[in-house]
Amino acid sequence: MKLSNRNGWKLIPALLLLFTAQGVTAQQYELNSKDEQTRIRIQVNDRITWSVSKYGQVVLPEVVIGMTVNGTVLDEDPEVTSRRESETAESFEAVLPVKSRIIENDYRELQLKFANDFELHFRAYDHGVAYRFTTSRSGNIEVDSETLEISFPAGTTSYFPQEESMYSHYERSYLFKGIDTIRTGEFASLPILFNTKDDLRILFSEADVFDYPHLFLAGSGSKTLHAQFPKGVAATKPDPSSADRNVIITEEEPFIAATEGTRTFPWRFFVITNDDADLIRQNMVMQLSRPQILEETDWIQPGKIAWDWWNANNVFGVDFKSGLDTRTYKYYIDFASEYGLEYLILDEGWTKSTTEILECNPDLDVKELIRYGREKGVSLILWCLWKPLDDNMEEILDTYAGWGAKGVKVDFMQRADQYMVNSYTEIAKACADRKMLVDFHGAFKPAGLRSAYPNVISYEGVRGNEHNKWADYITPEHNVTLPFTRMAVGPMDYTPGAMHNAQEINFSVSFGRPMSLGTRAHQVAMYVVYESPLQMLCDTPSAYMQDEKTARFISGIPTVWDETKVLHAKVAEYVAVARRQGDDWYIGGMNNWDERSLEIDLSFLPAGTYEMTIFQDGINANTYAEDYRIESRTVNRSDQLSMDLAKGGGWTAVLRRK
C-alpha cells in the first residue's frame, strides 16, 4: 500500500467505491463498517436520529442531532435530496508518531445532502463511528445552537470527568457514575468513556475542531445525555484575584459560533469495542482531522525535557544557593546535557513579571542560558501566560524566536469557546512561522490541531503529577484510567518522573517537596505507557543525579514510536504496552493498588536475540515504594515473562537487538 504524506490528504489507490449523487425518497439509511460488525441506521422524518449496533447488539439506541443557523432549524422537517456512499483505504505518515508512524485510515462513508443547504456525513470504522454537519451558504453565518442527545442502554455507566464550569483547566478525575445518576446541571468535558451492562466500551469525543467551540455533555437524571456549548464571548474583565491570568466573562453572544457559511463542522466520534486495548490502539482524532498544513517539518524535534516548577527548584548538593537565576538554570542545562535530554523549560518566574514577559527577572539572563544551552546541546522552551501573549503575540514570539528559544509553553487558557479555539490555531501558526514548538497547558483536550500543525507537540488537559503538590487523588487507579480516557484522544503532558514515591499510608502533601502515590517503578513505566512527544522529567536534577540508575534508564526511553502493541488492558486496573522505535522495543506496565502478575508473551518480537534490561518493583516496594531492582537477560520471541507488579506498581523493559 502506497503512503500519503497527508500534506494534501491524497487517497491511496486501494479499493474505492463511489456511488454518484442521486435523488432519494427513502427516509431510512444504513452504513456498515468494512468488517460488517458495526451498523449505523439513520432515520430522517420530522427530525434526524440514528442508532448504532455492534456485534449484533444495540449499543446506541437513539442519537438525536440538529443545528440552528441564523434562526433557521436545519433539521426541522428535513428533506434528503441526494446521497453518496464511498469506501476508502488510505495511509499517512505522522510527523510526530505518538502511537505509530503509519496511520491507517479505512472506512465507509455516507453523505446525505439536504434541501436546506446542509449535509450530514457519517463514517463507519471497524472500531467506531463518526458524524459531522457541513453547510453551503453564502457569506457568514451564526450558529445559534447545535443539538446532540445521546440515549444509552439501561445500566450504562461512565468514567465522567465532571466539570464545575466550562471555564476550566480541564484537569478532572474520572468519576465512575451511572448515566441515570448524572443529574440536570451536571456536565463533563470530553473525552468520556462509557460501559454498557454487556461490557461494551464506548469512548466519545470530537475531532477537527476549528473555528468552533468544544462540546460538553450534560446529564438529565435519565439514560440520555445532551450537548452544551460555551457561547461566544462578547466581553471580559480581569479577575481581581488573579488579573494576570484569569478573566471574568461579563457578556456572551447569543450564538455559539459566528463563522463562514460554507464549511465542515467538527466530527463527533464513538469508539465502540469489547476490548479495552482498542481504546489505546485507535487513532480516531488523527484519522478524522484535517491534513497537515505545514510544508516543512524537519525542524520539529521531539524529546525529553528537564522541568523546574514541580520540584520548586530544590537543587541540593551544590555550592550555590538555588533560585530563579542564571546559575541554577545552568545547573539544569548541565544535567540535561549529561543525560541526553533535548530540552529545558523555564517555567513561571523567569520573566520580569507574569505580564511583563518580554524581559527577564533581574537575576536571570535568558540569552546567556540559550547560548549556554546551545553549547551543551540543550534547547530552551519558555513558559508564558496566554493572556499577555494574546494581547501582543507578534512582538512576544518575535522576541523569543530572536533569542533562539525553540518553543513556548502557553498556560492558563481555561476556556473552550470559539475565540479560544481560534487563538490556539493562531498560536500554532505564528509559532510554526518562526519554527517554534507549542506545549499547551491549562488547556482543553487535543481535537485535531496537531494534525494540521504538528509543531503543537503536546497538551496538558489532564490531572497529572502536578496535582500531587496539593492533593492526594493522583492515585495509581487514576493513572491506569488515563490511557483509556484522556490519552485516547492525543498526547498527554502528565509530567512523570517523581523521585519521592510513597505507598498510600506514607503519602503526604507538600507543595515544595512533592511526592507521588505508587512505586518508583510506576513512575518509570509512564515513560513507555504515556504518550507525549515532549516528555518531562518533573523532579529536581539533584534527585536524578543522586540515583543515576533511575535517571539513566528514564533518559534512554524515546518519546515517539514507530509501532505500538497493547499486551494487557483493563480500565482502572492495569495496562501493559510494547512500543518500537527502530529495531528496539520498550515494554511498560502499570497497575492500580492491587498487587498482580501479568504474563508477557514476547511473540510480537521479530526473529533474533535481544538484550533485555528490566526496571521493576523491588521486593519491599509494597512497604517502601522507592524500592526497585534492575536486571538483564537475553530473550527472543519464543520467551514468556512474568510482569510482577507491587501495589501501585510498575515494570519497564528495554529490548535491544543483539
| Residue positions annotated with a catalytic role | 411, 466
Coil, strand or helix: which one is 293?
Answer: coil
> Hey, what's the cell of 600?
508477557
DSSP states along 434-471: TT-EEEE-S-----SHHHH-TTEEEE--S--GGGGGT-
- Distance, in Å, from the CA atom of 43 to the CA atom of 135, rounded to the nearest integer, reads 20
Could you tell me where the beta strands, DSSP code E, fall in 224-307?
Answer: 224-228, 233-238, 247-252, 257-264, 267-273, 303-306
Of the candidates 4, 96, 6, 33, the residue with the CA atom closest to the CA atom of residue 446? 96
Of the candidates 458, 457, 479, the residue with the CA atom closest to the CA atom of residue 468? 479
Q: 42-50 — which CB contacts under 8 Å span 24+ positions? A: 42/110, 42/112, 42/120, 42/122, 44/78, 44/80, 44/112, 46/76, 46/77, 47/75, 47/76, 47/78, 48/75, 48/78, 48/120, 50/122, 50/131
Dihedral (Cα; 178, 180, 183, 185), 10-degree rounding:
90
- Distance, in Å, from the CA atom of 498 to the CA atom of 280, rounded to the nearest integer, reads 24
Q: Which residue has the cell 463498517?
A: 33
Coil, strand or helix: which one is 430?
Answer: helix
Contacts of 13 (CB under 8 A, 6+ apart): 2
Integer CA distances (angstroms), 461 to 270, 445, 492, in order: 20, 6, 7
> Hey, what's the cell of 356?
511583563
> Hey, what's the cell of 419?
475565540
How many of the other CB atoms lie within 10 Å of CB of 23? 8
Q: Are 265 and 132 in contact (CB under 8 A)?
A: yes
